[in-house]
Amino acid sequence: MTQMSDIFPEMTVEQEKQWFAEQQEAHRLELEREKIEIAQRKAVDHYIQCRDCGAFVQKWRWVRKDHPQAISQGWRPLCGSCFDNYDNYP
């Protein structure tokens, strides 16, 4: 008799392991895709300085100049230390 999953009652333990493996692989691929996208960013297309202190921000924090909210609401990136000074970031 096959043992049923404690998490997903409709699955067997083997099916549960397979499902988790698939989810983990999908997550790994998404992270890899995101790393590639960030690496391909060009400074000329992004706001790259902190809106509060003017410091250069990490590449993953850059805001595209043509982003609708950057245009309409003036979105600019924040460096880590300035970000910590806010309760939330609009």
The span from the CA of 75 to the CA of 79, in Å, is: 13
Structural domain including 90 reads 43-90
Summarised one tens digit per residue, pLDDT across range 27-86 is 999 999 999 999 999 999 999 999 999 999 999 999 999 999 999 999 999 998 898 888
| Residue 84 and residue 69 share a domain | yes
| Residue 86 and residue 49 share a domain | yes
Which whole-number Å values give the CA distances from 14 to 5, 19, 70, 90, in the listed order?
A: 8, 9, 48, 44
| Residue 90 and residue 73 share a domain | yes
pTM over 0.85: no
Total number of domains constituting the chain: 2
